[in-house]
Structure 1
Amino acid sequence: MFALALGLLALRFLPALPSIGWLIAMPVVALMLLPFRTYPLAFFLLGLSWACFSAQSALNDRLKPALDGQTRWVEGRVTGLPQRTGDGVRFELTDSRSRKTHLPERIRVFWRGGPEVRSGERWRLAIALKRPFGLLNFHGFDQEAWLLAQRIGATGSVKDGERLAPARNAWRDSVRQRLMAVDARGREAGVAALVLGDGSGLAAEDWQVLQDTGTVHLLVISGQHIGLLAGLVYGLVAGLARYGCWPRAWPWLPWACGLAFAAALAYGLLAGFGVPVQRACVMVGLVLLWRLRFRHLGIWWPLLLALNGVLMLEPLASLQPGFWLSFAAVAVLGLAFGGRLGPWRLWQAWTRPQWMIAIGLFPVLLVLGLPISLSAPLANLVAVPWISLVVLPLALLGTVLLPLPFVGEGLLWLAGGALDGLFIGLAWLAGLVPAWVPTEVAPVYWCISLLGAVLLLLPKGVPFRLLGWPMLLLAVFPPRTLVPHGQVEVVQLDVGQGQALILRTRHHTLLYDAGPRSGAFDLGARVVLPSLRKLGVGTLDMMLLSHADADHAGGAVAIANGMPITRVVGGETERLPTVLGTQPCVSGEQWRWDGVSFELWQWADAVAGNPKSCVLLVQANGERLLLTGDIDRAAEQALLSTPLAVPTDWLQAPHHGSRSSSSWAFLQRLTPKSVLISRGRGNAFGHPHQQVLERYRALGSRVYDSAEQGAVRLRLGAFAPPVVARSQRRFWRERLP
């Protein structure tokens, strides 16, 4: 079973899937090995071959490259729970069909300003189709892996549509609509999240509070909820039998186990049967089976069986962070509670699991690149029993009794009030101790911290157990590799149709542009700020906003709210938010940081907009980088008469490679060896223009395009090739062009 698990898990780390020949050969070889009793190798190959076969089928179901960017009329059925956002609705289609075109089984779409969409309805939609793709930054969220794990073969935006058939068998959506219509003291979305596992209605502020306090697992369906409900049902039957209220003709133990497992399955189906629910249902079933047959299974056998069961059902589950956190949490508790001599006191059984979970999950959160809540042990001491014993029973009972006038509504009103009180306390705690985003940690330090966490989870009396603390703290305060004097580390982040570059010298950090913002979707908060923290930046010495367009300065306010900034400089101070206190860009201003020189320039005749972009020239050990914002041909012509118009090693393509920029005269004078282009894949502006790319190729310039290669990291002054995010091969990512 352990070998089977290793084979299934190996899929997560494959750079490429084996060919069809190997997919056929592996199970054949495994079956041939079985008569020779080489069971570990045979089951490893069986697990790996099944996982690879399942992953290959998901990759084959992706949208064909020829259809990428095309708009097609698609018929399909809405599945899952549609998510209403501020400016539209997001949902998934299954059984998708289009005339004379084969489409993926599942398509995830967004309809800006769209009407009410219900699960189970059948629609005919005009969709601008796209292959599964996402932003890719160093240590950032991998959207492509998530889409593949959900088996979503295409995404798209809806242009128009008509409803063909009403909803059928959409009981989950009906329950959600009923819950959202009930007065729950303003916490209807939280109650729906507890009952249905649907957190789409929670506000961004609520998610931030849950993340800062490490209580996200309480507002989405987790194994704790499944086990609690099964235990309540089992205890109810056992109590009735104890006091003679259970029919004597029905053996109480089989009925208690059967009803408890049925309740766990029913709650799991209500919650969508995600990975934590699958794992919990398998483990609850094994515990009930042990209780029925009076066999001691321990903790590790049910956990291993649950792991294999989940991965056999869906091998791609290992691509999701929640899979690792779910099983790691149970393993930590198993390690913490196993091998103890004597029982713990009540207060110890209440407090110690929270601290052990915090210690045990620290290396897991670290390697997954997720924020770490420092207040989680304290928050969960109160939140876990409050949710488990007060809010959840009220919410489930109120949902079941909704058909009874006033009874269900009253219980849900109480559940909402209890949940609101908890959120008030969590928000106060989150304001005191926000989540911590750790810096990058070298693999060797992470391995040491993992060993330290395991040592600390062992029982008292184990030799050298206390050495786990310095080993664990090595990942908290890792030895930092400083940028050499006279060099600057440059990171062009992948922020879609926008721009953001981080420049770090030995002791200073500059941010050139802050990423885009569109409505509530702020990449300054989602990408730029976490990337700064991952690099260990605590304070920005300067934030330079080339101009005030939303794709360059949209994320500035979020960054200013999340990090101290010594100075803000902008090309269009009059159009930038006053809260930033922006200083104007002054042509000719120069300064030196740690042996690296910086110089600003702005076209004096520019009135507003792109031509008024603030240009930055950076020189380190004779290697040059020119950041141009969105200047156009006229501004380029003016720049040619300045000292900045010299041969350049690195050029940030003006205006994302637009045809209105990158004039031939400008490029001939600068003759850039390499060009950085920051833009969104399949953007509506056609950036970069084909003529501009041909000019770069004519000069022999190497182009690094964020839409094709993700984030780019280079060391200016070292004259070394850069590192691109997509150079780390994974089977679910498209190969570099």
Structure 2
Amino acid sequence: MRTWMLALAAGLVLPRFLPALPSVWILCVLGVLGGLLLSRRRWASSGLLLLGFAWACWQCQSAIDDRLPVSQDGRTYWIQGTVSGLPTSTGDVVRFELEDIESRHAGLPSKVRLSWYGGPQVRAGERWRLAARLKRPRGLVNPHAFDYEAWLLARRIGATGSVKAGERLFAPHSVNSWRDRLRLRLMEVSASGRQGAVAALVVGDDSGLSREDWQVLQDTGTVHLMVISGQHIGMLAGLLYGLVALAARWGFWPSRWPWLPCACALALAGALSYGWLAGFDVPVRRACLMVAVVLLWRLRFRHLGVWQPLLLALNGVLLVDPLVSLLPGFWLSFGAVAVLALAFSGRLGRWKWWATLTRAQWAASLGLLPLLLTLGLPVSASGPLANLIAVPWVSLTVPFALLGTLLLPLGAIGETLLWLVGTSLALLFELLFAMATWQPAWLAVGIPIWALLMIGLGVLLMLLPSGVPVRALGLVLLAPLVYPPYSEVAEGRAQVSVLDVGQGLSVLVRTREHALLYDAGPRQGDFDTGERVVFPSLRSLGVKRLDILLLSHADNDHSGGAQAIRRLLPVARTVSGEPQRHATDLNAKPCENGAEWRWNGVRFSLWQWQAARESNQTSCVLLVEANGERVLLTGDIDQAAEQALLLSGQDVKAQWLLLPHHGSRSSSSEQFLRAVEPSAALISRSLHNAFGHPHPAVTARLEASAIDVYDTALHGAIRIDLGDFSVAEIQRAERRFWREK
């Protein structure tokens, strides 16, 4: 039975690792073959593997087919739909999901995610008629960055877009509308400034937590505590089960009612009620199913051991929705349960409560380490200690938060309870902040597969019982954590990485011992590209400090993320084409026209038009040369600045040219392209941007000159090994079935 369940689970998760999905006729053949093999007991495991694979691929393909067609990408439509989930408001931006889509245009997806800048208040359950510009699901693609496209597909969102205009058709009339009203009520109570945290624990809405709160939770490895997950659902179910068990032990439970079935039924009812309150999102559905399986195991099948219910829950979750394997939370939740089962199974004797709690935190922190590294998630050094304190703290807080919410109709009683809950959470955040300041999270360098397997084996050995002879070898196998293996840049060479930051620019230039960042990407509302995209990419590439942060000029699309980079990374020096326009805490120095220096045999030189009359013209231009191969980074200079650069006498010939001003009509003149003579042009921009970059006239010039084009909107991040005279590497070449080509 265990072998069969393992085979089925393997088939259900296998599509997650495919570069492309098989065709429909291949899936039909595999399904029929799996059914035939299933009829023979000897080949039943292979049959379940094929059936699970075919089912998961079919589900994935159906979600992909529900995306916005390519022919309708970037167009504006009038659509009608119902607001699902809980809308969030940040500044003047309202974000929400719309489902049950109706439109006179055929082929639109059944669910979309929209942003409304300056829009009115939107409530869950409302029906709206909207004019929305829709785009196919697409995300930024950088080394070891968050995969937004996978997240959208897992939620079966077929398009994203922005609202231009709209009107409300019907008032809220769904369960979500009730949750939305409850969320608003919770945000109005006095909770020592922690109303957002209370709402996160009660209704699963984390939009009330600030960016600083999330940073603290990430640095201390306690993000899971503020997102309703298996821990919260399981804790409430365990509490209700324990209350019945204690009442039965102390003689308070009616003898005519068998306590065990009643305890399991009450625990399941509590878990489902909490899940309903939290909106039955993907993690909540997964947690409720796991609790149901565990309770069933406790009621009837305890003799089968702990692994059977875990495998049953795993297969149940994957059969209901195979797309959950695209989410990191799926792997972390089941991984945590598996690690705890391994750490506590097969041990003799009884554990004291404090020893059990300590061992659980140690095992979970160590056991999840390989998964965190594989998924490219931060690893918290203070996590074991923080969780040792925070897990019981939050576990004791949640029941009072739910009780206070239940008693809100009574006025002062419910509000007083929630004030106590808010005060408790405020104290917890103060403690977590101190831990985060002492030891922030560590984002590992991109570790190769062989090293990850080595670390995984080492962790597995260390989790084995102490009597196992080879257990000590686990410490040796963790060596890649101390000395991470990553390729260093050779002497006399430079590695140039044009990061995918949307409509903006950020380029990393690394030599063997030095690093320079040319621009830091945009900051748009609460989304700081410097913090969310550029910094993780720098760390994954092994950059621990910047020798120079060079900002071409002060426009937001080039310098918006600069403050985040200064906050998160040591920066020796900041240089800008417009130092006077930056915040004083950046301490930016002016671009020195004609400045030159060498790092590890690589030559760098700066140029700036001294007669510039407006911001784009002041862009600080950087030329990098390694072993005779050059790249010219031009910021946002226009044709007048290009002409001034040519008249300055600078040698501008370069194999690689970053197109000025993202390829706008006012730049990249024919004379400038002839003078530079690039073999390839680099464009940093977002797809379907409002500025029309790159302009068709510029594209025509590039085609006429037979210049190859590398475009972050089409190719993702671009890497050039300067000095090797090789072709560029593009991030989207690493194929995933859910990723746009």
TM-score, structure 1 normalization = 0.97
Structure 2 partner of 1:367: 374
User: How far did residue 259 of structure 1 move?
Assistant: 1.6
Structure 2 partner of 1:284: 291
Structure 1 partner of 2:30: 26
**SS of the counterpart of 2:165?**
strand
Structure 1 partner of 2:499: 493
Deviations 1:315-351 (A, max 9, x none): 1000011111111111111111112122233332121
Structure 2 residue 730 is matched with structure 1 residue 724: yes
Aligned mates of 2:482, 2:407 — CA distance in 1: 49
Aligned mates of 2:727, 2:523 — CA distance in 1: 31
Question: Which of 26, 37, 40 matches 1:36?
Answer: 40
Structure 1 partner of 2:183: 176
Structure 2 residue 440 is matched with structure 1 residue 440: no
Does the 8 Å contact 2:220/2:432 carry over to 1?
yes
Please tell me the residue identity of whatever aligns with 1:120. G
Structure 2 residue 272 is matched with structure 1 residue 272: no
Structure 2 residue 697 is matched with structure 1 residue 668: no
Please tell me the residue identity of whatever aligns with 1:729. R
Structure 2 partner of 1:524: 530
Aligned mates of 2:255, 2:544 — CA distance in 1: 69
Between 242-251 and 12-21, report the one with greater CA deviation. Answer: 242-251
Please tell me the residue identity of whatever aligns with 2:108. L
User: How far did residue 276 of structure 1 move?
Assistant: 3.7
Change (3 A) 1:578 1:295: closer
Structure 2 partner of 1:16: 20
User: How far did residue 184 of structure 1 move?
Assistant: 1.6
Structure 2 partner of 1:311: 318
User: How far did residue 615 of structure 1 move?
Assistant: 0.8
Please tell me the residue identity of whatever aligns with 1:528. V
Aligned mates of 1:459, 1:304 — CA distance in 2: 22
User: How far did residue 292 of structure 1 move?
Assistant: 2.6
TM-score, structure 2 normalization = 0.97
Does the 8 Å contact 2:617/2:636 carry over to 1?
yes
Unaligned segments of structure 1, at least 5 residues: none
Please tell me the residue identity of whatever aligns with 1:39. A
Between 96-105 and 298-307, report the one with greater CA deviation. Answer: 96-105
User: How far did residue 97 of structure 1 move?
Assistant: 1.0
Aligned mates of 2:441, 2:490 — CA distance in 1: 31
Structure 2 residue 565 is matched with structure 1 residue 567: no
Structure 2 residue 360 is matched with structure 1 residue 353: yes
Structure 2 partner of 1:627: 633
Does the 8 Å contact 2:90/2:526 carry over to 1?
no
Structure 1 partner of 2:223: 216
User: How far did residue 245 of structure 1 move?
Assistant: 4.3
User: How far did residue 76 of structure 1 move?
Assistant: 0.5
Aligned mates of 1:482, 1:134 — CA distance in 2: 29
Structure 2 residue 588 is matched with structure 1 residue 588: no
User: How far did residue 70 of structure 1 move?
Assistant: 1.3
User: How far did residue 521 of structure 1 move?
Assistant: 2.1
Does the 8 Å contact 1:74/1:127 carry over to 2?
yes
Does the 8 Å contact 1:83/1:89 carry over to 2?
yes
Aligned mates of 1:257, 1:519 — CA distance in 2: 47
Structure 2 residue 449 is matched with structure 1 residue 460: no
Change (3 A) 1:100 1:285: closer
User: How far did residue 519 of structure 1 move?
Assistant: 3.0
Please tell me the residue identity of whatever aligns with 2:16. R
Aligned mates of 2:497, 2:18 — CA distance in 1: 27
Question: Which of 39, 50, 58 matches 1:45?
Answer: 50
User: How far did residue 549 of structure 1 move?
Assistant: 0.8
**SS of the counterpart of 2:478?**
helix
Structure 1 partner of 2:644: 638
Structure 2 partner of 1:88: 93
Structure 2 residue 151 is matched with structure 1 residue 139: no
Please tell me the residue identity of whatever aligns with 1:89. V
Aligned mates of 2:558, 2:93 — CA distance in 1: 24
Structure 2 residue 709 is matched with structure 1 residue 703: yes
Between 73-82 and 238-247, report the one with greater CA deviation. Answer: 238-247
User: How far did residue 403 of structure 1 move?
Assistant: 2.1
Deviations 1:424-460 (A, max 9, x none): 1111111111111111112111110111111111110
Structure 2 partner of 1:97: 102
Aligned mates of 2:578, 2:150 — CA distance in 1: 39
User: How far did residue 68 of structure 1 move?
Assistant: 1.4
User: How far did residue 520 of structure 1 move?
Assistant: 2.8
Aligned mates of 2:605, 2:200 — CA distance in 1: 52
Structure 2 residue 694 is matched with structure 1 residue 688: yes
Deviations 1:63-84 (A, max 9, x none): 1122211111111101111111
Does the 8 Å contact 1:179/1:188 carry over to 2?
yes
Structure 2 residue 255 is matched with structure 1 residue 251: no
Structure 2 residue 417 is matched with structure 1 residue 411: yes
Please tell me the residue identity of whatever aligns with 2:14. A
Aligned mates of 1:68, 1:276 — CA distance in 2: 31
Between 373-382 and 229-238, report the one with greater CA deviation. Answer: 229-238
Structure 2 partner of 1:713: 719
Please tell me the residue identity of whatever aligns with 2:40. F
**SS of the counterpart of 1:464?**
helix
Aligned mates of 2:581, 2:242 — CA distance in 1: 65
User: How far did residue 489 of structure 1 move?
Assistant: 0.4
Please tell me the residue identity of whatever aligns with 1:151. R
Between 206-215 and 172-181, report the one with greater CA deviation. Answer: 172-181
Deviations 1:81-122 (A, max 9, x none): 111111221111111111233321111001112222111111
Residues 501-520 of structure 1 aligned to structure 2 (within 5 Å): 501-520=507-526
Question: Which of 109, 113, 116 matches 2:118?
Answer: 113
Structure 2 residue 340 is matched with structure 1 residue 333: yes
Does the 8 Å contact 1:511/1:544 carry over to 2?
yes
User: How far did residue 639 of structure 1 move?
Assistant: 1.5
Between 224-233 and 144-153, report the one with greater CA deviation. Answer: 224-233
**SS of the counterpart of 2:451?**
helix
Aligned mates of 1:297, 1:207 — CA distance in 2: 40
Aligned mates of 1:46, 1:3 — CA distance in 2: 10
Does the 8 Å contact 1:617/1:644 carry over to 2?
no
Does the 8 Å contact 1:275/1:310 carry over to 2?
no
User: How far did residue 713 of structure 1 move?
Assistant: 0.8
Deviations 1:206-228 (A, max 9, x none): 11111111111111112122122
User: How far did residue 294 of structure 1 move?
Assistant: 5.9
Change (3 A) 1:255 1:653: same
Does the 8 Å contact 2:144/2:536 carry over to 1?
no
Aligned mates of 2:725, 2:665 — CA distance in 1: 30
Deviations 1:387-441 (A, max 9, x none): 112x111101111222223222121111111111111111111111111111111
User: How far did residue 565 of structure 1 move?
Assistant: 1.5
Structure 2 partner of 1:297: 304
Structure 2 partner of 1:610: 616
Aligned mates of 2:196, 2:353 — CA distance in 1: 34
Deviations 1:535-559 (A, max 9, x none): 2222211111111111111111111
Change (3 A) 1:86 1:626: same
Please tell me the residue identity of whatever aligns with 2:722. L
User: How far did residue 22 of structure 1 move?
Assistant: 0.8
Does the 8 Å contact 2:622/2:634 carry over to 1?
yes
Question: Which of 561, 582, 593 matches 1:576?
Answer: 582
How many residue pairs are counted as aligned between the two chains?
734
Deviations 1:463-507 (A, max 9, x none): 121121121231342134221111000000000110000000011
Deviations 1:507-533 (A, max 9, x none): 111111111112332111111122222
Structure 2 partner of 1:58: 63
